[in-house]
Amino acid sequence: MEDEEMEKKVQQYLQRKGFRLTELALQEERNRLSTSAVSDIALARSENDPARYYDGYSKLRTWAYSSLDQYKHELLRVLYPVFIHCFMDLVAEGHTHEARSFFHAFREDHELMHSRDLQKLEGILSPSHLEEMELARSLRQNKFRIKLCKYSYDLLLQYLQKTQALVVFGIINECITFDVSHGQPSLISDDTDVVALVGTSKDLAKQINQKEVHWGLLEDSVEERMEKALLESDKTEAESKDADAEDNKKKSSEGGKQGGSVKKAKKDKLVGGATGKTNKSETSIVSVASRVKPELTLPVIPVEVEQSILEDWRNRAQLNSLALPSVSFYTFLNTHNGLNCSSISHDGSLVVGGFSDSSVKVWDMSKIGQPPKTSSPQGDNGLSQGERISASDDGKRPYTLFQGHSGPVYSAAFSPFGDFLLSSSSDSTIRLWSTKLNANLVCYKGHNYPVWDVQFSPVGHYFASASHDRTARIWSMDKIQPLRIMAGHLSDVDCVQWHVNCNYIATGSSDKTVRLWDVQTGECIRMFIGHRSMVLSLAMSPDGRYMASGDEDGTIMMWDLSSGRCVSPLVGHNSCVWSLAYSCEGALLASGSADCTVKLWDVASSTKALKMDDTKVGSTNRLRMLKALPTKSTPVYALRFSRRNLLFAAGALSLGS
């Protein structure tokens, strides 16, 4: 009130004195201040208005879709990060209803490329969810990196300057890093690779990869005991042959016939020496590997099982680049595209298939080809509860049928000794079956989404699972809850593999990375970056030093676990690499793909060159392909080297290939 009276007196004074110009200047200043106050109030209101996100994104979307066709696909890449951050900012400000409306109004723009992320983000209903959900935290903490050509980048800057869209400008400035290249715009087919989170940068991998990894074999492992037993048996055989040779020498004076026996004894001695040399070369990789202590309590292996393993080791074929393995391929017929996965037992006697109708079927190879006792039924439909488990020896089916899952089965794995079977499904459960009792023993519940892969540890009892919920979990057969949860991947964990010493597991993900985890702490100790598409298969070398990974594009990469670097990159196949397997002595790597081929790679020469060039940090050596084994029309689902180095493979005949 006092200010208004003061202004009125000043104005009266100016009028009385005739200061007209000063009076007009004062009036203009008063009008300017009042206009500024009104605009500040309007700006404050607009900053709290949730509609500004809808308007800003909608205008950017309209502009991007109306751009020149040559640059449109590049400019459309900006929409997804802006859409995600507009939605999360609305939720963070408490505008939940407006956030839901905004999400459903524009989600179709990104359904094709980012459907899995959208399914996750759809569950965000409050600001607390942004902190609890790993994906939301990752998106808010890391920047998107987008590749654009120079002209597309200039077009975007001109639009932002012209429209003065503060919301969109702020999101692009804070949440997106542009990788600008000169020349023509990139191809539309590269869209999956040009938008990525900076959170998986090489700096983060370098920081993680500084942690220590003990890649050696277990102390007093089965391999070590088998090696000692083989050496002792070879020594005993050599001594007995020496004794026989001495006896023959004493009897040589009795006649020329005995002379022939001496020559035969010498020949046997030479053969025995060669055999000993072969056994030594077979186990050389195991011998030179360092020894580590187990971090898990390992189960006791029965004596009869050890005897069986020893017998297999005695009869193992020595493989190298000149001596390739025999291959036995199991082909599934008449699956009608229902087979999702397959696995083979370590001795090749059992083959399992997981199907889209939620069933698990096990074939005993010793009974294949035997005529059924009675006529086969027309189908498996209409089974009663009592027929959930139907053994093959009833004469009705050539396989054992296990039913219990309520969704498609995506993975199955035999225990190292073939007495148990694991299966995982889209119903988010893992089931343990007994192949001896033909019964379901346990149903493990812990994952919240489909379980893509499950694998037994090399000693049995423990197993690991990989899921759509972006975690891997470690379980033991005697506990229904997981022992460890490995969280850190930015997308689905598609495959999992145990290290040979059981102290680590490796996971491959749709975020195009492979990670190595410590089973005791649940901590990520290695991050392997290099794949350009989702990682679908993993394999560990028998000495525990190297790991191979295969991806959706057909690329195979071999990694050194100690340094965390790729040592042998190669484009192995024309399609997805679904399975990888090392031979027992680690000399060969087999890969199976959706391109209907099995390929054999020379690992021994590559690793030998690497050990000689260990001082060269950047040295790499591409694997040499030894042989490609094409099938007629069968994608390769699974590979397995038996303990005798026979290679087993399995797949479903695809008539549409």
Q: Give the bridge partners for 425, in sequence order.
A: 409
Nearest Cα to 459, choosing from 402, 515, 405, 519?
Answer: 519
Per-residue pLDDT tens for 562-601?
888 888 777 778 899 999 999 998 899 999 999 999 999 9
Q: Give the bridge partners for 347, in sequence order.
A: none
Quick one: average pLDDT of 287-310? 79
Q: Residue 384 — φ and ψ, nearest 5°?
A: -85, 175
Check residues 465 and 374 and name the one with the higher pLDDT: 465
- Per-residue pLDDT band at 259 (split at 50, 70, 90): very low
pLDDT recorded at residue 222? 66
pLDDT recorded at residue 289? 67
pLDDT recorded at residue 234? 66
Distances, alpha carbon 551 to alpha carbons 199, 528, 557, 602, 620, in Å = 21, 13, 9, 19, 19
Q: Is 267 helix (H, G, I), strand (E, B) or coil?
A: helix
pLDDT recorded at residue 33? 66
CB 641 within 8 A of CB 325: yes
- Per-residue pLDDT band at 277 (split at 50, 70, 90): very low
Written as one letter, the residue type at 118 is L
**How many C-beta atoms surround the C-beta of residue 345 within 10 A?**
24
Q: Per-residue pLDDT for 274 more than 60?
A: no
Domains located in the chain, CATH noted: 50-181 (1.25.40.500), 326-367+397-610+621-652 (2.130.10.10)
pLDDT recorded at residue 565? 85
Query: Which tokens is 32 given?
Result: 């300017």
- Residue with the two structure tokens 């749709």: 510
Q: Is 353 helix (H, G, I), strand (E, B) or coil?
A: strand
Written as one letter, the residue type at 55 is D
pLDDT recorded at residue 609? 60
Total residues found in the chain within this entry: 657
Distances, alpha carbon 406 to alpha carbons 2, 102, 412, 466, in Å = 80, 35, 15, 18
Q: Per-residue pLDDT for 508 more than 90?
A: yes
CB 587 within 8 A of CB 541: no
pLDDT recorded at residue 163? 82
Q: What percent of the chain has pLDDT over 70?
A: 76
Which of 8-12, 16-20, 126-130, 224-228 tops mean pLDDT? 126-130
Rounded CA-CA distance 177/187 in Å is 20
Q: Residue 204 — φ and ψ, nearest 5°?
A: -65, -45
Rounded CA-CA distance 643/312 in Å is 6
pLDDT recorded at residue 43? 42
Per-residue pLDDT tens for 425-473?
999 999 999 999 999 999 999 999 999 999 999 988 999 999 999 999 9
Per-residue pLDDT tens for 236-246?
766 676 666 66
Among 70-79, 230-239, 339-348, which is the least confidently predicted range? 230-239
pTM of the predicted structure, to 2 decimals: 0.64
Rounded CA-CA distance 641/548 in Å is 15
- Per-residue pLDDT band at 640 (split at 50, 70, 90): very high
The b/e string for 596-619 (b: 16+ C-beta within 10 A; e otherwise) is bbbbbbbbbebbeebeeeeeeeee
pLDDT recorded at residue 563? 85
Q: Is 422 helix (H, G, I), strand (E, B) or coil?
A: strand
- Per-residue pLDDT band at 140 (split at 50, 70, 90): confident
